[in-house]
Amino acid sequence: MSDLYAVMGNPINHSKSPQIHSAFAEQTGQDLIYSAILVPLEKFSDEANSFFRSGFGLNVTVPFKEDAWQYADTYSSRALRAGAVNTLIKKEDGSIHADNTDGIGMVRDITVNNGCDIAGKRVLVLGAGGAVRGILEPVLEEKPLEVVVANRTVSKAQRLAEDFSDIGTIVGCGFDQIEGQFDLIINGTSASLSGELPPIPESVIHQNTICYDMMYGAEPTIFNQWAASHNAALTLDGLGMLVEQAAESFTTWRGVRPDSAPVISSMRNSLVPAKA
């Protein structure tokens, strides 16, 4: 019988995870079935208990990443830092181990897929929500010169910086307090979903700046449109991050790393631009 894996969320119909993991399984010859499960609000633990009676691993998406954190028995260091998880693994003793693969997925997309160094670079991260908390440890582990977290609510950015200050040089500030130019700018706000831009000065970009939006779409996000219009050297979106975080989960579950490149290409080709 095929091994069972799934992603849980609410809503879940939009999830690309079954498509991605099915492609990984075919590519690596793994006998597994990966499905998407719509979980009623307040019912995560019940649904997870039911799944793990026969299933081996779960991905978790909104709004259950904190519920999954509470559900787990043990944690990776990046899951502990993030306070939220997107990957659950059933161990041989039946206990549930939690991981957060979002940040390492983004870092692999930037460094491996696109050949861009983070080490020694000045990095600006926009936003201070859960998505940003999930990426900071992997980014700081790349040994950047400095990470500046900018957010509308200054105290939230400063608190986040304090939480990660033991593993690298990191400061928090308001959007209107950003100073100087940056080598890498990561948009971790949801502004692109609402068609808005974070209020940051155009002076943050220089001729070699890489701009990365954690969101993605068939068309360039509004953040990446803005970056390109101010002559950023490279604009990237979060589609590669989506596939790479899945590859990290798959590797943890199955002990084999899939080749993400053809899957990213296939996913990119399947995106359909909105009709005018």
Which residues are identified as catalytic? 65
Q: Which residues contact 265 (CB under 8 A, 6 or more apart)?
A: none
Cβ atoms < 10 Å from Cβ of 257: 13
DSSP β-bridge partners for residue 214: none
Contacts of 264 (CB under 8 A, 6+ apart): 113, 239, 240, 243
CB under 8 Å, gap of 24 or more: what pairs does 78-84 form?
A: 78/103, 78/104, 78/134, 78/137, 78/138, 81/133, 81/136, 81/137, 81/163, 81/164, 82/130, 82/133, 82/134, 82/137, 83/130, 83/133, 84/130, 84/133, 84/134
What is the distance between the alpha carbons of residues 32 and 197, in angstroms, rounded to a whole number? 41
| Strands across the sheet containing 32-38 | 32-38, 3-9, 57-60, 87-90, 96-99, 74-75
